[in-house]
A and B are shown apart, each in its own frame.
Chain A
């Protein structure tokens, strides 16, 4: 998980919503602020967070490091297949997006898989400011 967060540059957010109240938008906005290239994938939107939206992963013309999923678990297996097809490095399934079949498809296709975690929170835990919110980061260290 650490390596994915540290090494990724381009994140395709599947299910990114234009509504500022949705978790996907929170995460997309946060990732942009922290230097990630965010590519929205959502057949119901045209432009989100200043980026052109693509209807599916297959339509994205650039290389994708992480496929970050905010969709119903039932949609994940197909998304996983597309993620394998487009050669992404990792499939990241957000809170509640739990699909063992989708995870298996991605793993067999050579992708790293993270399930039921938030990419924003894991970034904040490692590199960001989660420790300012009183959350347990789990980080124990005496070094500078």
Chain B
């Protein structure tokens, strides 16, 4: 009688999921299969691989063993059936929506979204002729009011960039499933350590693995994780349930069951558009993921300490860390992110745009950089950089104030981080208060 398979803990799976010691060499670390192609055993095998009748390596634009190890590790940690790696988070996002949507479709998307995602969705909307219906994710009735029988997908971030809004995952999932649409969640800021949206009813996950998954600011990468539980044969997704012209009439959902969408994403989308994750990059992600839980605990603790310190500083206005006791998102954090709300949040300097500029330029430890989720602490002031061209009114419309500063708190000693921020605040105070 088989012993029931053991359910290993998160840390164990972070270290081991997706790979075993190499049976041929004994190598303990995952080999970097830096190869473009793979030699076939014989013509019959080659044919079987191309027709998807047999699992085998064909070409690193479609599959690669090192990338597969990363994909499996991420899927395992998220609780999904599988994952497909992409060149970047935005590539994963574009790939998924390309696979799911047809011209004329509508999607419901949270307004509080990474600016790059918004730009991409508007771009896709024009080219694919789909309609994006924007939703106020803070409004409990927002999804229900916006979603219609024509909505083909719902999309939001677990923790929004940079406002720290937290998604009510179960609520959004319920609304999505009422109309037979999947809920897609960008889980980048949380990572599966802090939140596993699939457990709350989400159907698909997108990651920019560039951030906390890699954890070290070295690698641009992305992935889609599929729960495998959404019913693509409900009549609303012909691209997944109907015969594929690329594979001689193969129906992905019928033939591959739980793995239908994943196979389509890989064998059609990734194959045709080529936004592939490089084997060496996947190796770096695997290394980072080994310490995911340990790193996230420190990120969370450091960020809360920094946020609490900022709350005590006179020249600081709002501090939008979702786990602070008076944050409007605290109840959602308690429910969906009990181990912490990540380490990216924003605050407002009372000295406005000019104060923000001086603040940034007075820092010597925090890195002024466009990224988040690094071991190094990072800072950016949108009003003097990414949003410099916007007037104050336009800034407000995009959810950013002239003095808004976004922090990505890293793994340095908190005392050092606060020491450096103090210099920044002094420089900001030295400037005239501007609107």
Q: Is A136 an interface residue (CB 8 A)?
A: yes
In the complex, the answer to whether A30 meets B53 with C-beta atoms within 8 Å is yes
Q: Mark B232-255, 1 if CB is under 8 A from A, else 0.
A: 000000000001000011110011
A132 vs B282: C-alpha distance in the bound complex, in angstroms?
13
In the complex, the answer to whether A21 meets B249 with C-beta atoms within 8 Å is yes
- Smallest CB separation, B42 vs chain A (Å): 11
In the complex, the answer to whether B2 meets A138 with C-beta atoms within 8 Å is no
Residues of B within 8 A of A95 (CB): 257-258
- Smallest CB separation, A136 vs chain B (Å): 4
Number of contacting residues on B, CB 8 A? 52
Residues of A within 8 A of B116 (CB): none
Q: Mark A67-96, 1 if CB is under 8 A from B, else 0.
A: 000000000000000000000000000011
In the complex, the answer to whether B255 meets A131 with C-beta atoms within 8 Å is no
Residues of A within 8 A of B194 (CB): none
The majority secondary structure among interface residues of chain A is: loop
Q: Which of A39-47, A55-63, A122-130 contacts B (4 or more CB under 8 A)?
A: A122-130
Residues of A within 8 A of B55 (CB): 124, 128-130, 132-133
A11 vs B236: C-alpha distance in the bound complex, in angstroms?
36
Which B31-70 residues have a C-beta within 8 angstroms of A?
A: 48, 51-57, 63, 65, 67-69
Known A-B contacts A118-B257, A134-B63, A142-B20; the reply to A21 vs B82 at CB < 8 A is no
Residues of B within 8 A of A3 (CB): 2
Residues of B within 8 A of A22 (CB): 255
A29 vs B325: C-alpha distance in the bound complex, in angstroms?
60
A139 vs B75: C-alpha distance in the bound complex, in angstroms?
12
Q: Mark A104-144, 1 if CB is under 8 A from B, else 0.
A: 00000000000000100100100011111111111111111
In the complex, the answer to whether A140 meets B17 with C-beta atoms within 8 Å is yes
**Residue in A closest to B25 when the chains form the complex, CB atoms:** A144
Chain A CB within 10 Å — which of B69, B82, B83, B249 has the most? B82
One of A1, A2, A121, A143 near B259 (C-beta < 8 A): A121
In the complex, the answer to whether B48 meets A33 with C-beta atoms within 8 Å is yes
In the complex, the answer to whether B76 meets A144 with C-beta atoms within 8 Å is no
In the complex, the answer to whether A136 meets B54 with C-beta atoms within 8 Å is no
- Smallest CB separation, B53 vs chain A (Å): 5
**Residue in A closest to B70 when the chains form the complex, CB atoms:** A134
A136 vs B192: C-alpha distance in the bound complex, in angstroms?
15
In the complex, the answer to whether A140 meets B85 with C-beta atoms within 8 Å is no
A30 vs B55: C-alpha distance in the bound complex, in angstroms?
9
A142 vs B290: C-alpha distance in the bound complex, in angstroms?
14
Residues of B within 8 A of A30 (CB): 53-54
In the complex, the answer to whether A132 meets B57 with C-beta atoms within 8 Å is yes
Q: Which of B8-16, B163-171, B356-364, B408-416 contacts A (4 or more CB under 8 A)?
A: B8-16
One of B16, B26, B82, B256 near A136 (C-beta < 8 A): B82
Residues of A within 8 A of B68 (CB): 131-134
| Given A23-B254, A142-B21, 6 extra CB contacts under 8 A | A21-B243, A118-B257, A133-B63, A134-B85, A135-B82, A140-B8
> Could you tell me which A residues sit within 8 Å of B by CB distance?
1-3, 20-23, 26, 29-30, 33, 95-96, 118, 121, 124, 128-144
Question: Can you list 24 A-B contacts (CB < 8 A)?
Answer: A1-B2, A3-B2, A20-B51, A21-B249, A21-B255, A22-B255, A23-B257, A121-B259, A131-B68, A132-B56, A133-B82, A134-B68, A134-B72, A134-B82, A134-B85, A134-B262, A135-B81, A136-B72, A136-B75, A136-B76, A136-B82, A140-B8, A140-B16, A144-B23
The 9 closest A-B pairs by CB, nearest first: A134-B71, A95-B257, A135-B82, A129-B55, A136-B75, A23-B255, A136-B76, A144-B21, A140-B8
